[in-house]
Structure 1
Amino acid sequence: MSEPILCERRDGVAVVTLNRPQAKNALDVASTDALSALLRGLRDDESVQAVVLTGAGGDFCSGGDVKGMGQGGPRSPEQRRAGMARYRDLATAMAGLDKPVVAAVDGVAFGAGMSLALWADMVLVSDRVRMAMVFHRVGLVPDIGAWYTLPRIVGLQRAKELVYSAREFGAQEALQMNLAMEMHTPDRLLERALEIAHSFVGASALAMSLSKQALQASLQSDLSTMLDMEATGQAMAGASDYARESVRRFASREPAQFRWPALPSSASLKS
């Protein structure tokens, strides 16, 4: 039996693949728990500086394992709430991963699959992607923290529309709503995600961690708090060996350690 979650390390980048293609990578108990554990491990792995999250078989994730939900007989609200603890763990693991996460989203990203993608720092989609907050179609509500992440990305009114309607949308609309950063053909999608992730290997891991933590806190903080975080973060980053080397390279007109990969001409960007 194949592993439900795969992880391949490629020169500082961890490629995490949802690996249940026969179920369009739906999240069952085993895959959810395995993904949470893996993400917590990657946070503490100093050899990994960026993560690419993708799905096997041409799909990202079709959501929760609906077939599995119907097994085992009826459950009380208390039992169902207890069962949601693993989705809470997954959301917490994604939020706590203080390294850049690039999601390469192909095929379907429905329900919990879309909720998972919302935690990525950058979402790249294929031109055939299909996304939806499908929960209301089956009388459920969004999970894996989507009530938290979605309004922060698309705004409150649009989040309400996507949740209430449970409608499907494609790549162009994902770009327009800022749910996606770039669109690529399916054969180019993972390659581009790896280009971006590998560029972070040349960046300061400390600066990236500090910026990610601060940006995630910014919408719940006031100006004074953010300025305090800024002062503390800059003091820490400025004292690092990375910063000293970067200043030396700049003064010597040597190539920078970190360089963002150029966008291919065939790609579409959010406007």
Structure 2
Amino acid sequence: MSENTVLLEKVGKTAVVTLNRPQRRNALDSTIRTGMTAVIDAIAQDSSVRSVVLTGAGGNFCAGADLGDGEGQSERGFFVRDLLLDHDRWFTALSDLEKPVISAVDGFATGAGLSVALAADFVIASDRARFVSSFARVGFIPDLSLLYVLPRRVGLVRAKEIAFSAREIPADEAVALGLAEVVVPAASLRDAALEFAQRFDDAPTHVLGMAKRIMNRTFETDRHSLVQLEATLQGLCAASRYNAEAMRRFFAKEPALYPGAQRPF
């Protein structure tokens, strides 16, 4: 994609997206914004893609926003605001992508890079991963939706501690806190992420996507509204060819279209 700073590769039914600015620890700049926008749109439209693995090149996941980008701007305040809103467009598209997304985090996921990691549905960390809400170190509040995502991941009090301390969180602690689901050796990270992603190869993509969109808004939706939405979408599921075949197999005691996973990770 743009200047090859975002790479897209297909491995079976999984799209592997790689942030590719290793010389800058994959810090977010305008080329990544353009590349991620294009890549996410392509993945959303490709019905053969059933899952996504998001990772970084060169031994790091993402160092957050490139603080050198826009240096010398006369209206730096407006530049920063506009930069965040521009990146939020692809971040929102990634968060709402109707396919399971797995972040494979090696090295540092720092600042807005932590936000990007947590935009995924699942996070697999290498044993050398480090998660850092580094904003306070440079006089900023957390951004790129981290103030929204982080408390939902770890709870309000832990989110405050992570943001206020700006400390490095190693992989094992990240799992204990809820920032990641599992730790694997760095050499096995890509294979572990792909293996996990491939369990969705035969899953009903639209069903998972609808469930994901509802759950992403659970904390802003009252129970009554949620029940109404569940019922409406369940009606759509019941009218699908996938559901008809799945139910036929169920009653005929034939192998399921999607048997599900036998273990979480």
Same fold (TM over 0.5): yes
Q: 1:235 is matched by which residue type in structure 2? A: G
The residue number in structure 2 matching 1:32 is 33
Alignment of 1:176-215 (within 5 A): 176-215=176-215
Residue 160 of structure 2 is aligned to residue 139 of structure 1: no
Alignment of 1:80-119 (within 5 A): 80-119=80-119
Residue 24 of structure 2 is aligned to residue 23 of structure 1: yes
In structure 2, stretches of 5+ residues that fail to align are none
Q: Distance between the aligned counterparts of 1:138 and 1:251, measured in 2?
A: 60
SS of 1:219's equivalent in the other structure is: helix
Q: Distance between the aligned counterparts of 1:190 and 1:256, measured in 2?
A: 28
Q: 1:182 is matched by which residue type in structure 2? A: V
Q: Distance between the aligned counterparts of 1:228 and 1:248, measured in 2?
A: 27
The residue number in structure 2 matching 1:223 is 223
Q: 1:165 is matched by which residue type in structure 2? A: S
TM-score by length of 2: 0.92
Alignment of 1:125-164 (within 5 A): 125-164=125-164
**227 and 261 in structure 1: CA distance in 2 versus 1, 3 angstrom threshold:** closer
Q: Distance between the aligned counterparts of 1:259 and 1:21, measured in 2?
A: 39
Q: CA deviation at 1:176?
A: 1.0
The residue number in structure 2 matching 1:244 is 244
SS of 2:255's equivalent in the other structure is: coil
On the 8 A contact 2:28/2:62 being kept in 1, the answer is: yes
In structure 1, stretches of 5+ residues that fail to align are none
Query: Percentage identity across aligned positions?
Result: 41
Superimposed CA distance per residue, residues 57-82 of structure 1 (whole angstroms, 9 cap, x where no aligned partner) = 2211111112335x334434233322
On the 8 A contact 1:196/1:260 being kept in 2, the answer is: no
The residue number in structure 2 matching 1:50 is 51
On the 8 A contact 2:111/2:135 being kept in 1, the answer is: yes
Q: 1:39 is matched by which residue type in structure 2? A: I
SS of 2:220's equivalent in the other structure is: coil
Superimposed CA distance per residue, residues 129-151 of structure 1 (whole angstroms, 9 cap, x where no aligned partner) = 11100011011222221111111
Alignment RMSD: 2.0
SS of 2:103's equivalent in the other structure is: strand
On the 8 A contact 1:42/1:48 being kept in 2, the answer is: yes
Q: 1:28 is matched by which residue type in structure 2? A: D
Q: Distance between the aligned counterparts of 1:24 and 1:83, measured in 2?
A: 19
Aligned positions, number: 264
Q: CA deviation at 1:90?
A: 2.6
The residue number in structure 2 matching 1:173 is 173
Q: 2:132 is matched by which residue type in structure 1? A: A
Q: Distance between the aligned counterparts of 2:110 and 2:162, measured in 1?
A: 12
Q: 1:238 is matched by which residue type in structure 2? A: A
Residue 209 of structure 2 is aligned to residue 233 of structure 1: no
Q: CA deviation at 1:2?
A: 5.5
Q: Distance between the aligned counterparts of 1:39 and 1:170, measured in 2?
A: 29
Q: Distance between the aligned counterparts of 2:79 and 2:128, measured in 1?
A: 38
Q: Distance between the aligned counterparts of 2:36 and 2:103, measured in 1?
A: 14
Superimposed CA distance per residue, residues 95-114 of structure 1 (whole angstroms, 9 cap, x where no aligned partner) = 33121101111111111111
Q: Distance between the aligned counterparts of 1:136 and 1:172, measured in 2?
A: 23
On the 8 A contact 1:40/1:97 being kept in 2, the answer is: no
The residue number in structure 2 matching 1:3 is 4
On the 8 A contact 1:61/1:114 being kept in 2, the answer is: yes
Superimposed CA distance per residue, residues 197-245 of structure 1 (whole angstroms, 9 cap, x where no aligned partner) = 2221200112111101110121100111111111112111122221222
Q: CA deviation at 1:51?
A: 0.9
On the 8 A contact 2:123/2:179 being kept in 1, the answer is: yes
SS of 1:131's equivalent in the other structure is: strand
Q: CA deviation at 1:182?
A: 1.2
TM-score by length of 1: 0.90
